[in-house]
Each structure stands twice: as C-alpha cells, then as structure tokens.
A and B are shown apart, each in its own frame.
Chain A
C-alpha cells in the first residue's frame, strides 16, 4: 500500500461495510427482541427452567447484539477519524449506521427467502460488486472512467448521500465513486425487490 489515495479508498470500503454490518446487527437484534416477547408469552404462568432459559438467553442475546453494533460503529468511527487525518474531509464524521436504510446484503437475503429468480440475479449482482470492491483501486478507476460528469440517473432518484462533501481532490472523488456504487447497487436491488413484491401481490389477487 504505497499511496494515500488507495489507502483512503480502501478505508472508505471498510467504513461502508462496517456501517452495513451495524445495520444488520440492529435488524437482527429486533428479531431477537421479538423472539424474547414470544418466549415471555409462552412462559406466562410457568416457572419451568427451560422456558426461563429461553427468556433469559434471548434477552442476553439481544443486549449483546446491541453491543456488537456499538463496537462495529465505534470501529467505523475510528477508521473514519484515521482517514480524515491522512486525507482531511475524506470520510464521513457521522456514522451511516444510524441511517434506516437496509443493507444490500439484507435485501439480498430477503430476496433469497422469496425463492425466485430475482434472488439469484441479485446474488450475482452483489457478488460482482463485492469482488469489484476487493480491488478498490480498479473499481475507482472504472467508475471514474464510466461515470459521466455529475451523477448517474440512478443515483439522482435517491436523496443525496449524507457523507460530507470534500474539497476537490482525488480522495474525495474516490469517496464519491464508492458512495455512488453503494447507492446504485441498493437502488437496483430495491427496484428488483419491489418488482418481485408487485408480482407476488398480483398472483395473490
């Protein structure tokens, strides 16, 4: 790793993935909370050891899932602070994790649950984007060459990304390119999901 531009681009990938992981943990935590409520109802009026265990373990599991989310968000924050020290303004100072947007990974899993062609399609798209992400520099180059001036039509439909805009400079461009990839990917997956839902609803009617 020899140049700052590459380091910053990779740090931004790391930050983005950690933020997605935080969102995943929060969603999973909500499911565990839900399970906890079910176990409490199931155990109403019973002192049986097993149902008490299920109640306690689900409560602990939810609390610890929350702790994991906080630790991941903290890691993301420290990486962002480091990125901003080596290239001021290159990383977001507020965590993406607080945003309510579901991750591509989660959308993908939901699509998989629907067990249809779109799930397989989305998996291919995400896998492709993931492997592109591994070679951060190549991705940036590709996006910079493929991207017209301004943003793509896909990203224009989305609210502006909450990352801090940076002054002109290559690390900023790299950051923007990564944000655009993420936004475009999520938008594409969302469109696919809503298409599948519409089709399913139609079949139901």
Chain B
C-alpha cells in the first residue's frame, strides 16, 4: 500500500473517531443531567431497584470516561504515525 493510501486510511479512521467522540461527549453531558434528575427524583428511596439503577449509572459514567481516553490515545497514535511515515 502506498504511503498516500496509508495516510488516507489513517485520516478516515481519525475522522470516524472524531464523529464518535462528539456523540459520546453529548451522551456524557446528557447522562450527567439525567443522573442529577434521577437522584433528585429518588433521593429518599432505598429501594433495591433504585440502588441498582444508580450504581449502573455511575458505572456507565466512569466507563464513558475510559472510552473518551481510548479515543484520545487512538487519535494521538494515528496522527503521530502519519508524521512518522512522512
């Protein structure tokens, strides 16, 4: 594969990651809002379903941070590789 073709593929990959990142950042903001509304709504409940729901929400939020970090790693590596191959 030519260097130009490799670069084009890397750029395509980075573009897709950027689309995903935009979506995930939107989800992160929305989920933070939703979490606040949820906590406000059920603040006086110790119902097992509520506790499970809030635990899942917290785990999802933490995992979403990891997703965003992985995407950053991806973009950095792809950009650096592009410079490396000239």
Contacts and interface: CB of A to CB of B under 8 A. Distances in A.
Q: Could you say which of B10, B41, B52 has the most chain A C-beta atoms within 10 Å of its C-beta?
A: B41
Interface string A56-70: 011011001101100
B67 A7 contact: no
B75 to A, nearest CB: 8
Interface string B37-55: 1101111110101101110
Interface stretch (A27-35, A143-151, A193-201): A27-35
B49 A28 contact: no
A32 B81 contact: no
Q: Which of the four size classes fits the interface of chain A?
A: 35 or more
Contacts of B42: 7, 11, 82
Contacts of A61: 17, 20, 67, 70-71, 74
B41 A1 contact: yes
A79 B41 CA distance: 11
Contact of A82 (B40, B53, B56, B71): B53
A26 to B, nearest CB: 10
Interface string A23-56: 0110111011011101101101110101101100
B1 A44 contact: yes
B27 A51 contact: no
Given A13-B37, A64-B63, A75-B56, A20 B16 contact: no
Contacts of B50: 78-79, 82
A182 B64 CA distance: 25
Given A28-B24, A109-B23, A68 B9 contact: no
Contacts of B84: 48, 50
Contact of B74 (A17, A28, A44, A58): A58
A14 B37 contact: yes
Contacts of B12: 35, 38
A8 B42 CA distance: 10
Contacts of B1: 41-42, 44-45
Interface string A81-123: 1100100000000000000000001100100000000000000
Interface string B1-29: 10000110110111111011111101100
Interface of A: 1, 7, 10-11, 13-14, 17-18, 20-21, 24-25, 27-29, 31-32, 34-36, 38-39, 41-42, 44-46, 48, 50-51, 53-54, 57-58, 60-61, 64-65, 67-68, 71-72, 74-79, 81-82, 85, 105-106, 109, 134
